[in-house]
Chains A and B, each alone.
Chain A
């Protein structure tokens, strides 16, 4: 365990007060001490998103992914099973896989040639008899497996803590909302291609806030797209709908419907055939009833994985909605510095024309060049700069929006729901969980 200095202890106390009052100190968005604690107490014990199964459909397919600064090879073995191994040779610690993706039956270390099968077993050591005189028990020197690897409907998560609760328990009631995405069709989802990766000088929590709770920023951050008619003119449109959080877990979702009087098609505007498939495929009638009325859905899993699925058009002139779906990891690189991994996805059995247009709906609005997201990253960068300044870091930020609201008793889904999205309720829940893990 990291020894806490008096200074760090004082910071945690300040943070605890802030969480209680809904007034968080700005330094949490760019602080080296806090980042060290997050490494140990958040990211070394949480379920972190790695990959979607459709990225590695065939035996031998692999992708390289990270938990903190640890590279993991996520690979499908010849037996079809997905495994994950630390990308580090057991001999002298060299990377055995330096590509981001590919297909391999074996990984051969370029340093001394130790060779591992894609199920992790060490199967070849050059000059084994001559050099090691029969002392080397190869079965004990396989690649180090990721302590925990579990999947939810094709979403692969890893955990560095062997004693962590199961992924199912970790997710809890947020599964109901995840299924709105993953169980739209029995065929499931597929990635549209590899992730875009880029670096942003900001804090992972700040990026996450936008996707777990902040529909409020749309009216100003994304004002340019309101002007272009891409986002509705009604400044309060993102307010209509439910904000839901899972107490004790930190997860949250936003289910945005249509503003009163808006002429929007049901079910995100997905084609009729996809809607009918979903009606039959969703596990419960309640999920279908909610999905039918949904136009924008955001889900964020504690700590750093977000999903965004809005109704959209591929451009401002295209006559019909083609919704987009993106998964993203806010990968922490250091204090005030993240790498975004952003994937576009689509239902495997969606019509081909739809897949192509959904890709455009994603690329033109989200991701590295997205006309929404490019303004988000600009703004997140400046907040993180201020957070590291001597005066700005001390400023307490206002997290009390929606404190007056009472939970919605009529909401059919699990979790604590509020019937209005202009609230910081999900943030207060996230930061309570965050603090609890920092202190534990």
Chain B
């Protein structure tokens, strides 16, 4: 199959798992050596060379590996994870998917994928909601059985986050 088509399918599948709280299945989409980061973003002066401004080096909202993501998922399964129990209503809107060339590395076939994300979150019985907008810079790696997320850098479009916690995955 066309890799772009395959990647679109896996991104949409991933969004479905995250929106439905099927985190165990989501973990199956992750490579063993996954790197998952959400850097802090600051308001800084425009960089002379252009590009995204204020993506902090050295500080993140999330800086995870396979083990720590498993820990976060296991926590949600304890029945005592109050931040998400009752769960948030989440919707991951994945758009502007840009699939790079498939390249062969020593770890196998890899492809860089960029996508835009608009995350809708509502909690409790109140009508208000929060939106988080971001770009995701991924590397997907082909494993037996399909593509696995090897790296994700989430570039948030917020400096101060408009939400009371990041108790979900982007």
What residues make up the interface of A, taking CB atoms closer than 8 Å to B?
A: 98-102, 192-202, 221, 223-225, 227-228, 230, 314-318, 339, 344, 359-360, 363-364, 367-369, 371, 373-375, 377-379, 381
Contact = CB atoms under 8 A, between A and B. Distances in A.
Given A198-B164, A378-B164, 7 more contacts: A194-B59, A197-B160, A201-B164, A339-B160, A369-B166, A374-B166, A375-B82
A218 B101 CA distance: 49
A198 B63 contact: no
Interface string B42-66: 1111000000001011111111110
A62 B140 CA distance: 39
8 contacts: A99-B44, A193-B60, A196-B59, A196-B161, A363-B63, A368-B165, A374-B83, A378-B83
A27 B58 CA distance: 40
B40 to A, nearest CB: 6
Given A102-B45, A379-B82, A364 B71 contact: yes
Interface size classification for chain B:
35 or more
B61 A367 contact: yes
B78 A224 contact: yes
Contacts of A314: 68
Contacts of A192: 58-59
Contacts of B166: 198, 368-369, 374
Contacts of A344: 59
A369 B71 contact: no
B23 to A, nearest CB: 14
B164 A381 contact: yes
Nearest to A343: B59
B75 A101 contact: no
Given A101-B44, A194-B56, A221 B74 contact: no
Interface string B132-170: 000000000000000000000000000111111111000
A101 B61 CA distance: 18
